[in-house]
Amino acid sequence: MKVLMVLTSHDQLGNTGKKTGFWLEEFAAPYYTFKDAGAEIVLASPAGGQPPLDPKSDEPDFQTELTQRFKADPAAQQALANTVKLDTLASSDFDAVFYPGGHGPLWDLAESSTSIALIESFERAGKPIAFVCHAPGVLRHVKAANGQPLVKGRRVSGFTNSEEAGVGLTDVVPFLIEDEFQALGGLYEKGADWLPFVIEDGLLITGQNPASSEAAAKALIKALS
């Protein structure tokens, strides 16, 4: 079982002057879920090397058992510091792909032709694809084989409008996932704010928020077995 994890390389939170990137829990929880299931994991990002960590996700309030495990794991830190450039990889080398969130992906991965083509390649090959929190936003330009938006007519979730309002970034993000999915014809669903909520539509797996990270990763493993 070989899983590709794709992280953002974008570190600017719009024009606020603040930093963003990937969300620590959304990386750590899936990483160890896959690792403990015996998966071989490859980490990638558009720029390669160390992806930017959203500094907010490193605050004490957002730490979990698995983020603590990461901080005590030099091998995992080394792997994260040396992500492979996304444009050097092919879906044929992997069994599944997982995209952690954080706000960063809304800017780079959502608009990346490399990422879009990679997701389409996984999907066409009948391999599981999973996205959590803001990462479902990377699907906005992804097309199904019929040329329609991949999310059209599919059950999907992702960071809610109310959660975005809760973190005060409604007017900062380039688009709102809930609105975008509905505009694309997606069958958007959500649970309570900040609680785990994962939707599986065939081999398309989407989690709503950071708390959904581990459950989304477990759903991906289940889809592989």
- List pLDDT tens digits, range 57-85: 999 999 999 999 999 999 999 999 999 99
Residues 6+ apart with CB under 8 A from 222: none
Residue 113 carries which side chain, given as an amino acid letter? Answer: S
pTM of the model: 0.98
> How large is the average pLDDT for residues 87-101?
97
Structure confidence at residue 119 (pLDDT): 98
CATH fold label, 2-224: Rossmann fold (3.40.50)
As a whole number of angstroms, the distance between CA 212 and CA 189 comes to: 14
The domain spans of the chain are: 2-224
Alpha helices in the chain (DSSP H): 24-36, 65-71, 74-81, 113-124, 161-166, 177-183, 213-224
Residue 167 carries which side chain, given as an amino acid letter? Answer: V
Structure confidence at residue 166 (pLDDT): 97
CB atoms near residue 81 (< 10 Å): 11
Q: How confident is the model at residue 114 (pLDDT cuts 50, 70, 90)?
A: very high
**Quick check: 84 and 44 in contact, CB under 8 A?**
yes
Q: How confident is the model at residue 112 (pLDDT cuts 50, 70, 90)?
A: very high
Structure confidence at residue 209 (pLDDT): 98
DSSP, res 209:
S
Structure confidence at residue 161 (pLDDT): 98
Q: ∠142-154-3 over CA atoms, to 5°?
A: 60
For 197-208, what is each residue's pLDDT tens digit?
999 999 999 999
CB atoms near residue 69 (< 10 Å): 15
